[in-house]
Amino acid sequence: MRPSHSTTRHQSRATQRYLNTGCALTILAIIAIVTFLLAREHASAERDAARAANNIVQLINADVQRNVDLYDMSLEGLIEASQHPDYQRMPNSLRHRMLFNGIITGPYRGDILWLGPQGDIVADSRAYPPRKGNFSDRPSFQRLRDHPDAGLVISDPFQDRIGDLGWCISFARRISSPTGEFLGVASGALRLAYFAELFKGLAIGKDSSVNLISEQGLFLAREPELGGQNLIGQDFSQRPNFVRIVREGSGSFVGISSLDHKERLYIFAKAGKLPLIVIVALSTDEVYAPWRRTAIVVGIATALLCMALLWLCLMMGRELRRRLSAERELATLAATDSLTGLANRRSLDRALRTEWARSQRNGKPLSVLMIDVDHFKAFNERHGHAGGDEALRRVARVIDGCVRRPADLSARYGGEEFMVVLAETDINGALIIAESIRNAIERQAPFGDDEQAVTVSIGVGTRRSRSGTRLEDLLAAADTALYQAKDSGRNQVGFCEKAA
């Protein structure tokens, strides 16, 4: 077992892995949290915009419903007047005043008409005598004629055919005799320009719009107007966004406009009880502009934080490697003999205890080689301490070169003595290694002007017992074998194998 720090290296790698993993997980957690918060803020921006736009839609609906109620009051007043007992006895001029005296007028409220059973105009709020016209082809007229209990009927959008009102919708009620006979229809028109004027007072953003489309897909009003395009009367029934709006009835979604091909947030709902759909189309650039600014600032701050963490992790990793490298060097110095580079006495004692305990557990033999340089005192006197140190270094290199198994250990025992610990090695194996060491040292070139090379004497000790033995007995056996080799003339291998 050579001086090794594999455990330290393993701990170093493990600590580095933990550090890198912790840094990566921290960065991923920061990114995940920031992404979650930004996604939530993105959804919140959309909800806030949809809520504000929905308020606009509700405001429009409330205003529309108020006008519907006013129209209904006017129609009911006309019906009540037409059925008054004195109506037929009045002069025509008074009849006109009696029929339309309670009518609520306004800049966008059109005419109120009494249509006879055949659809002809019987009375006209805007002219006396009444203008000529027949409306028996209108679906609203036909429905009231055929369904006595129809109530208030709101027509589809149409263009005024007897005046200059432009696009309108009508509100109509059936006029019946006391016996239920169909006497005609009371009808009032509302100009769609009313919606355009209503939309102008709404603050919806620079690149956004409020639109009015009939349930059949007929485009009726837009604010602001799309420059260079007259959309009134165009059919949008087959456009994907309108198909979705009709299918869902009310709500919101993000889609691409078929007019300018920009992304819009659409919020839509029916205009009161009318067959009309109010659509607020908000520019997503405006909706998400504050969020994008926040996202950019937060993104940059997060990136800087992650880079700082990464840099800190790299610096900590580098310092950790430096510290562990220094610790390994210190451990190596503490476990190594400074002169020979072999394990020192402390490492030797630790290895002996470890291998002895293992031998006691598994019952395998443990051998040690006690090596002593022959006539080293005389050699030192001839060549000085420097020469003696060099000779010891040469011997150490030879010993270390002959001990090849990772589990074995070559160490300096003290002075000119060395020791080799051979785990799971019996006496025969130990003798082979001892002889190879002795022979290799003997073949070295003579030192300086000496005629003969440096030689060593080696004592081999082996223990086999699993219990009842001591490490000191093994060392004593090797020491005894070493003295036997010296007494026999040096440059020899002696051995001593004992069993308890």
Say if pTM beats, i.e. exceeds, 0.85: no
Q: Nearest CA to 288 among 45, 31, 474? A: 45
The C-alpha atoms of residue 84 and residue 99 are separated, in whole angstroms, by 10
Q: How far apart are the first and last CA of the chain?
A: 26
Which of the residue ranges 127-136, 157-166, 198-207, 470-479 would you say has the lowest mean pLDDT?
Answer: 198-207
Task: Please check whether the domain covering 336-498 is classified as CATH 3.30.70.270.
Answer: yes
Number of neighbours of residue 181 by Cβ within 10 angstroms: 10
CB neighbours of 5 closer than 8 A, spacing ≥ 6? Answer: 328, 331, 332
**Domain 83-191 in CATH 3.40.50.920:** no
Residue 210 has pLDDT above 90, yes or no: no
Rounded distance, CA 78 to CA 70, Å? 13
Q: What is the DSSP string of 83-123?
A: T-TTGGGS-HHHHHHHHHTTPPP-TTEEEEEEE-TTSBEEE
Identical fold for domains 83-191 and 194-287, yes or no, is: yes
Task: Name the 3-class secondary structure at 214.
Answer: strand
- Half-sphere exposure at residue 163, Cβ-oriented, CA atoms within 13 angstroms: 19
- Residue ranges of alpha helices (H) inside 408-470 are 427-442
Q: Are 286 and 208 in contact (CB under 8 A)?
A: yes
Q: How confident is the model at residue 108 (pLDDT cuts 50, 70, 90)?
A: low
Local structure of residue 446 (DSSP, 8 states): P
Compute the average pLDDT of residues 174-185: 88
Structure confidence at residue 73 as a pLDDT band (50, 70, 90)? confident
Domain boundaries along the sequence of the chain: 83-191, 194-287, 336-498
Query: 342 CB contacts (<8 Å, ≥6 apart)?
Result: 336, 396, 399, 400, 410, 411, 412, 418
Q: Is the pLDDT of residue 124 over 90?
A: no
Structure confidence at residue 448 (pLDDT): 74
**In the predicted structure, residue 236 carries a pLDDT above the cut 60:** yes
At 309, the amino acid letter reads L
CATH for 194-287 (1.10.3720.10, 2.60.120.260, 3.40.50.300, 3.30.450.20)? 3.30.450.20
Q: How many residues in total does the chain contain?
A: 500
Asked if 369 contacts 454 with a C-beta cutoff of 8 angstroms, the reply is no
pLDDT tens readout for residues 302-331:
999 999 998 988 888 888 878 877 777 776
User: What confidence category does residue 499 fall into, taking pLDDT thresholds of 50, 70 and 90?
Assistant: very low
Q: Residue 442 pLDDT > 70, yes or no? A: yes
pLDDT digits (tens, 9 = 90+) for 10-64: 666 777 788 888 888 999 999 999 999 999 998 898 888 888 888 888 888 888 7
pLDDT given for residue 337 in this prediction: 86
In the three-class reduction of DSSP (H, G, I as helix; E, B as strand; rest coil), residue 113 is classed as strand
pLDDT digits (tens, 9 = 90+) for 126-178: 778 888 989 999 988 999 999 988 888 888 888 888 888 888 888 899 998 88
Helix (H) or strand (E) holding 409: strand 409-414
Mean pLDDT of all residues belonging to the chain:
84
Contact 461, 367 (CB under 8 A): yes
Sign of CA dihedral 449, 452, 453, 455: negative
CA distances from 318 to 23, 24, 262, 313 (A): 14, 16, 52, 8
pLDDT in tens, 258-297: 888 888 889 888 877 777 888 888 888 888 888 999 999 9
Residue 443 CA from chain centroid, whole number: 71
Of residues 3 and 83, more confidently modeled: 83
Supply the DSSP string of 318-356, one letter for each residue.
Answer: HHHHHHHHHHHHHHHHHHB-TTTSSB-HHHHHHHHHHHH
Q: 160 near 110, Cβ under 8 Å?
A: yes
